[in-house]
Structure 1
Amino acid sequence: MENAQQKITTFLMFDGKAEEAMNYYVATFDQAEILSIRRYGANEGGAEGSVLHATFSLYGQVFMCIDSSTKHEFTFTPAISLYVTCTTDDEIERYFEKLSQGGQVLMPLGEYPGIGKFAWLADKYGVSWQLNLQKNA
């Protein structure tokens, strides 16, 4: 369910893969759901049937996404990432395994001084994720 208290929402712009990415994230994380999808119709600027606007939630955090109707030279960058606090070894390992498939590992899953068990990656859609194990979270 959309969080009425959330004032700022992460917005993800895809190039034809918004619905595929949403389904991937909802299947990867527990407590995740697609909240709404509006699609481009005929002659509406975007590819008919692609995502005009959609929302999904991961652990109550709402995200918006679209399939851009305009081709751009840019995509996602690791300068902004989604930071996931994990509470068990199984959780961080499961997320790392799933999100790194077809993506790029920026920092391998491992123990880092001052950080603990951590990984940083860009998934197959180019979205950057930081995974951190905090057993007392």
Structure 2
Amino acid sequence: MGSKTKIVVLHMKEIIYTVLFAVLAIVLILLLIFMFLPHSKDSKTAEEKYMPGIYTSTVTLNNTPLEVEVTVDESHINSIRFSNLDETVTTMYPLIQPTIEDIAEQIYEKQSLDNIEYSSDSPYTSQVIINAIDDAIKKAAAK
């Protein structure tokens, strides 16, 4: 009878190991599913709500104030532009207009200021413009 007990103990160890590995495999599969599923429900509820209108923020370049004008409707950013850009500023800062156009295109596409790629030609100007756009969007945010 002692030999049967040893065989049962060996089989019990194998069953325990099999169950343990099966549980770990299920936990790993569930973890991978939750990590890589798109979070569409969260993005729909966290969608920005704005008060429709035109909001401005000021950027000062070499003692010249520039108005960044952001136009929004209830849920979208529709337009971003400089409202008082003149020839002297564009002559002094030739990359400012292409920079704001590039940033505006990215914002229209993403409807967010997250993960905006800066131009390698003017990273500091891009950051100043994004800060001004962010200020204007904060003014537009519905409370």
Give the structure-1-normalised TM-score: 0.28
Give the structure-2-normalised TM-score: 0.27
Greater Rg by CA? 2
> Is the helix fraction higher in 1 or 2?
2
